[in-house]
């Protein structure tokens, strides 16, 4: 590969690293052609982009977009594939589901929701991660819950309570 070709690959990887907010680095080496095709199909269905890259080129692309965390660079050994996603937990769920039939892919590291996760043991944590939108929805639901309780209590016995309040106020004024 010439320097120009390497530069094109690095720039392409850097563009994808910036275009997608989340990426996973995995090992899919021992998958046969049929399994690899099935994995690529699942990635396409889950809106996950699967790319195979050389470690040195990926390392340079990470440096270029300033995501070259020391923990991420450490895992760049052996065969490497990158899974790019717009939803943080999509690749983790895909890997977990795919591993019901195969022992690969093995998660090396992930960059999800601004955090770095290293090691295959982080797969369960990544599957349970919530997006920013999901967290905001949960907070809004929690904040609305007490207000809904007050409103429903007022509506349930509104006629009796208002009459009682009016009588109390009337007796105070006299």
| 127-161 per-position pLDDT tens digit | 888 777 777 888 888 777 776 666 666 666 655 66
Rounded percentage of the chain residues whose pLDDT exceeds 90: 8
Nearest to 80, CA basis, from 28, 12, 5: 28
Q: What is the pLDDT of residue 154?
A: 61
Q: Which residue has the tokens 């809904």?
A: 148
> How are beta strands 106-112 and 22-27 bridged, if at all?
antiparallel
23 phi and psi, to 5 degrees?
-150, 150
Split at pLDDT 50, 70, 90, the class of 29 is: confident
Split at pLDDT 50, 70, 90, the class of 84 is: very high
Strand order in the sheet with 106-112: 48-52, 81-85, 22-27, 106-112, 115-118
pLDDT at 72 over 60: yes
d(Cα 55, Cα 114) in Å, to the nearest integer? 21
Q: What is the pLDDT of residue 119?
A: 87
53 CB-near residues (< 8 Å, 6+ apart) = 9, 13, 61, 80, 81, 82
pTM of the predicted model over 0.75: no
d(Cα 23, Cα 163) in Å, to the nearest integer? 62
d(Cα 123, Cα 128) in Å, to the nearest integer? 9
């Amino acid at each position: 590969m010439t320097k120009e070709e390497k530069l094109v690959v690095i720039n392409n990887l850097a563009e994808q690293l910036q275009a997608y907010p989340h990426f996973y680095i995995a090992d899919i080496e021992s998958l046969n052609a049929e399994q690899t095709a099935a994995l690529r199909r699942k990635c396409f269905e889950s809106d996950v982009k699967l790319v195979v890259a050389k470690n040195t080129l990926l390392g340079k692309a990470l440096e270029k977009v300033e995501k070259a965390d020391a923990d991420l660079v450490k895992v760049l050994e052996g065969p490497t594939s990158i899974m790019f996603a717009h939803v943080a937990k999509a690749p983790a769920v895909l890997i977990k589901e795919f591993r019901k039939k195969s022992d690969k892919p093995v998660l090396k590291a992930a960059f999800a929701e601004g955090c770095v996760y290293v090691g295959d043991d982080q797969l369960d944590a990544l599957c349970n991660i919530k997006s920013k939108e999901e967290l905001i929805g949960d907070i809004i639901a929690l904040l609305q819950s007490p207000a809904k309780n007050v409103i429903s209590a007022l509506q349930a016995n509104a006629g009796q309570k208002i009459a009682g309040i009016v009588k109390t106020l009337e007796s105070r004024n006299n």
